[in-house]
Every structure is written in structure tokens, then in C-alpha cells.
Structure 1
Amino acid sequence: MAIPIVEEAIRVLSEPLQRPISELGLLQQSLLFAELSKISYYRPDIVWDAIDSVGFEHYEYFDEDGAQAYIFANQFDCVVVCRGTEPNEWNDIKADVNALAVVAETAGRVHLGFKCEVDDLWPRLERALKQNEKTLWFAGHSLGGAMATICAGRCKLSEIPANPEALFTFGSPRVGDNRYINFVKLAHYRWVNNNDVVCRVPPPWLGYRHAGREMYFNAFGKLRKYRPWRRWRDRWYGFFMSLKQWKIDHLSDHAITLYIDSIQQAIHEEQTGKIRPVQKDKPT
């Protein structure tokens, strides 16, 4: 589901962390987790420079049968970032297309392909998290967002000492049915970029529903809250604008780099008073 990330010169927009993530504003948190989601696509041997510039002192890489994730940690926080689809990974492609809903470990039904990816990773990941007592966060882009959603839910059934503080997903597909998404009470910020097609699958008629609080970027990359009719019009506008550039924005809107750029733009608008301060959800 994810557009391949070219390992270009690493560009990190977040300032180095010198305090707990919980003390950052919601948009600053979102920018950090979007950047970490992009970093998760890098090879393990070049990740260190990127996370050091953000303010993390340690990382651990997990790869089980093509299912991949990182743990990034510093003195305050522990962040689990699941990697999205890589087109050359058959296991990832198989996970994306296997949309059969099966009984979940928590409640309700969950996407079989996404569940199998987490099944591969979870034993090692759980062992590592049982050693962690720092504030715990989850994030991911594309398939990685779906995996992070499932992992965060499984923490509720585990002996992991730190409950997840929040979940941040970018361009994530639907993961489960109503019972599944309502079982875990967790702050979840679900970022959607205009016509990103991955956010529309699997379809609702198969019983799948989205979880969390939607954070929507319009066709101009601006953070807005629209009624359904306005959203419909905005998506058509984005589609026709992309055709003029010989692009299909249903695919191009999925790039994690666009999420990063749009969140940075939202931070600027918030700081200059063009939009109201974006508030965090109240603890559940």
C-alpha cells in the first residue's frame, strides 16, 4: 500500500526532543510520528543518524518473515513504529490483499492479512516491551498504521507495564469491525490526505470501520474539518487538479512525505493564528 521511500539525504523537521513527547502539542507530536514513520522505511544501517537528530538514543529493529517494526527510545519515551508495505516484499503484498475478517484476540473481527503480519512480530515485540516502563506510543504509515493499531490493542491483553499513551496513523486502511475498533479505549489520531485511496479500503460493505479521530487534509494540503458534502466536493476538486498534472492523486496522496509537509504547514497556520489551536483528546 505504501509508495516506496527513496533513501534520500535524511531531512528531519522536528527539533531534537529535550522533554517528554506528552509535553508537545498535538501537531508537533503528529509531525514527530510522521517523520518516524518515514524513517521506518530506511535500512537499519542508516537509521541511527535520523533518530539521533530527532532526539532518540536507542533503537531496535524487528524483522520476522517480512513484517517489520522499530522501537525508538530515549530517557522519557518508547515509540513503536511499524513499517508500511514494500512492493518487493511478497509478505506485505499478501497482507494487503487478504481482506478476510477473522476473530480478533481482543473483540470483534479483524483483517486477516494485517493480523498475520502482527502475529509474526508480536512475540519478540512483546518481550521487548515487557522491559519498558517509559511512556509508550504507537505509529505507522499505510500497512504500518494497520499493524500499529493491532499492536496497541494487544497491549491491553498483555503484561506490558506501560499502557499505550496514543496511536498516530497516516494513510491507514480500515482494520476491523465496529466491535473491534470500539473495544480498546485509546487516543487515536488518524491522518487522511485528501484522496488517499488506502484510507478507503477495505470497503465498509465488508463490515470494516475506521477507528480514531480523523485529521483531514484537503486538496490544498490544509487541515480542515468538513461535512460529508464538502468533503465529496473537495475530493473531486483534488482529483481533477491532479489530472491536470498527469497524476492520479488516489495514489500520490498516499506518500508519507506529503503527510509530513502538510502537518508542517498546519503547525505554521496554528502558530500564525490562521487556524485554531488543535486540541488533544481528553484521556479516556
Structure 2
Amino acid sequence: MALPQPKETEELAVGERLQAITRLEGRTVSQLTFLEKSLLFAELSRASYFPRTIAGDLAEQIGLPETRFYDRDGAQAYVFGGEEDAIVCCRGTEPNEWNDVRADLDAVTDVAETVGRVHRGFKREVDDLWPRLEQALVSNERILWFAGHSLGGAMTAICAGRCYLSHIPSAPEAVFTYGSPRVGNKRYVNHVKLAYYRWVNNNDIVPRVPPRWLGYRHAGTELYLNRRGRISNVGGLSRMHDRWWGFVRGLSRWRVDQFSDHLMEEYLTHIERAVLQEQAGKRPPALEKALGRVGCPSVAPATPPAPHLATRQEREKVQAG
């Protein structure tokens, strides 16, 4: 799950390229289409790897002037905020951080705070970080979103689950992850009821670990990008075929698809293309099918919804049901 450290010039170039698409310009996040949200959260997930000054500058140019950074024993997260929205982005694996590497390798499950079991390494990262995040969010009444890439995706999913069942006033509106590994067992996945969208890029190896035979399962709705970078609903043998030809094409370009497909830049490129097609009136049919299964509209609402301020009683009712 290691991600190479990008050079500062590359960081700024990515930000400049995407700001024209993701800039809020007075809109709330809820007023974006599903694909626009996905691109915004992908850009912020990439920004979470950057130093605070660069990440803050990129977020401010998008329309999120508030940037807070939290670091505890190598577990790190940003909270990017605007007037109506707050976005929690956990930082993914950094190869020079021993805590990150240890978290990735520790695939033993541990008892979750709610029901079921979760990956011990990911849980320990969140255990380090959560008290500070919880303290920061306890007074938040803005619409709350969670996003992350790689290890950051696993951490943000666990954080969102804790947030939903905590005394924090605003419950998570949705979770968006990119190249995230499996987090918990079937009982945990079935218990944590969140709007959760997982982007998976073709041969990206990380979403396939830890293995199912250890009891791990994925949560949420999968958005699969095929070898051409397009949203696809293929599964089974058709997906194996798609991945095989993606692997072959990767070899022809002198790269190992299983690792290159995990790069955040790859996710950004493909989702950016989908947004541009949508803006040209060509919304991907596979997107409608994937989101239709969970009742999520792909278009932006006519009016933004009110913040999701679920009471503790409402959350306990969901937990019991």
C-alpha cells in the first residue's frame, strides 16, 4: 500500500489541473453530482499526503478555507472545512513511516467497538488518532464527510463508523474510499450502516487484501474502473478477463499493473475523465446501475439537504435494528 512521495511541482500541477472542475464556487458538497463528489474527495485524499501548507492551499482554492492537521504516533488525518461542510481525510501508507508499514502487515482481527471484528493494524492506527479527531468534531454541526486512499481509506471507514455511534452531533453523510483494503469481518460489515462508496481501479492489489479466507469482507457500494479506466459493472469471469488484459497492457508499458493501478493519480485521472463526460451530457450507464442498487442518485439535488444531525437515540435504534 506504499505510495511514492510526490514532488512539490507535481503536487501543485495536479491541484491546478483539477481545481477548475472541483472548485465549489459557493456550492455545498451536497449540491455536487456523485461523480463531482468522487473527484473532490479523491483530490483531497491525494492532498492528505502533502505537507500541511500545500494541502491547505489546495483546499482553500477549492473553496474549503479551513484546514486542520492531526498527528499521533504517525497516524495522521486532515479535516478540511467550509461554511457548510467538513471533510475528514486520513492519510494513507507512507513507506518511511514504520507505524504505517506495521499497520498494513498486522492482518489479525481485533474486537471492534461496535459489533464484529476489524483489522488489528488499522484499528490501532485509528485508536491513536481518534481521541483528537473526536474532540475536534464534537462541536461540529456541518455536514460531515469521510474520504481516504489505501490505508487512509481503511482508517476513514473505521473513523466514520465510530463517529456514527458516538456523541458527535453530525453523523457521517457518506464515506468515499479509493483503493481501500478490506477492513472487518462479515458481522462488522453488516452492522455498520453507512453510505459507503468504494472506488476500485482494475488490477489494484490493495482492495484484494486481507484475503477473504481470513474472514475479511468489503463494505459499501463498489465502483469498479476497468482496464480502460471506465466505470463498469462486470464481475466473475468477465472481470478476470478484464484484469488479465489490463495486466498484459501494463507489461507492454513496463509496469506492474497491480501496483501502478493503486496510485492515487490513476484514480484521479479516470474519475476526472468521467466528470468531463458527464458535463458533456454523457453520464456512464454503469454508474446509474451501480448507484441504483442502493438508491443513491447520481445527479445533484435541486436543493441541498439539511445536515444529517442524527440523535443518539436514532443511532441506537439503527444499531439495534
Contact 1:164–1:186, Cα closer than 8 Å, also in 2: yes
Contact 1:5–1:38, Cα closer than 8 Å, also in 2: no
What do you get for the CA RMSD once the two structures are aligned?
1.5
Equivalent residue, structure 1, for 2:102: 94
Shift in Å at residue 102 of structure 1?
Answer: 1.1
Q: Percent identity, please.
A: 54
Closer, same or farther in 2 for the Cα pair 1:277/1:23, shift >3 Å?
farther
Q: How high is the TM-score relative to the length of structure 2?
A: 0.85
Q: Which residue of 263, 273, 276 maps to 2:285?
A: 276
Q: Secondary structure of 1:273's match?
A: coil
Please tell me the residue identity of whatever aligns with 2:28: P
1:3 lines up with 2:3 in the alignment: yes
Shift in Å at residue 238 of structure 1?
Answer: 0.5
1:15-43 CA distance string (max 9 Å, x none): 32121111111000000000000000001
Shift in Å at residue 274 of structure 1?
Answer: 6.0
The structure with the largest helix share of the pair is 2
Please tell me the residue identity of whatever aligns with 2:22: E
1:187-213 CA distance string (max 9 Å, x none): 111000000000100000000001110
Equivalent residue, structure 2, for 1:235: 243
1:121-147 CA distance string (max 9 Å, x none): 000000000011000000000000000
Please tell me the residue identity of whatever aligns with 2:230: K
Equivalent residue, structure 1, for 2:193: 185
Q: Which residue of 22, 28, 31 maps to 1:15?
A: 22
CA distance in 1, matches of 2:54, 2:282: 38
Contact 1:19–1:76, Cα closer than 8 Å, also in 2: no
The correspondence of residues 1-284 of structure 1 with structure 2, limited to 5 A, is: 1-6=1-6, 7=8, 8-10=10-12, 11-12=14-15, 13=18, 14-17=21-24, 18-270=26-278, 271-273=280-282, 275-276=284-285, 278-279=287-288, 281-282=294-295
5+ long unaligned stretches in structure 2: 297-317
Q: Secondary structure of 2:125's match?
A: helix
Contact 1:2–1:141, Cα closer than 8 Å, also in 2: no
1:209-251 CA distance string (max 9 Å, x none): 0111000111111111113111010000001111111110100
Contact 2:29–2:85, Cα closer than 8 Å, also in 1: yes
Between stretches 15-24 and 93-102, larger displacement belongs to 15-24
Contact 1:188–1:212, Cα closer than 8 Å, also in 2: yes
Q: Secondary structure of 1:69's match?
A: strand
CA distance in 2, matches of 1:188, 1:127: 23
CA distance in 2, matches of 1:277, 1:170: 18
Contact 1:26–1:278, Cα closer than 8 Å, also in 2: no
Between stretches 47-56 and 80-89, larger displacement belongs to 47-56
Q: Secondary structure of 1:221's match?
A: coil
Please tell me the residue identity of whatever aligns with 1:109: R
Contact 2:225–2:231, Cα closer than 8 Å, also in 1: yes
Shift in Å at residue 52 of structure 1?
Answer: 1.1
CA distance in 2, matches of 1:81, 1:168: 10
1:37-61 CA distance string (max 9 Å, x none): 0000001122222111111010110
Q: Secondary structure of 2:145's match?
A: strand
Number of residues of Structure 1 aligned to a counterpart in Structure 2: 284
Closer, same or farther in 2 for the Cα pair 1:51/1:28, shift >3 Å?
same
CA distance in 2, matches of 1:210, 1:195: 16
Between stretches 133-142 and 175-184, larger displacement belongs to 175-184
5+ long unaligned stretches in structure 1: none
Q: Secondary structure of 1:70's match?
A: strand
Please tell me the residue identity of whatever aligns with 2:34: L
Contact 1:27–1:278, Cα closer than 8 Å, also in 2: no
Shift in Å at residue 273 of structure 1?
Answer: 2.1
CA distance in 1, matches of 2:215, 2:284: 35
CA distance in 2, matches of 1:124, 1:202: 28
Equivalent residue, structure 1, for 2:315: none
Please tell me the residue identity of whatever aligns with 1:282: G
Shift in Å at residue 277 of structure 1?
Answer: 8.2
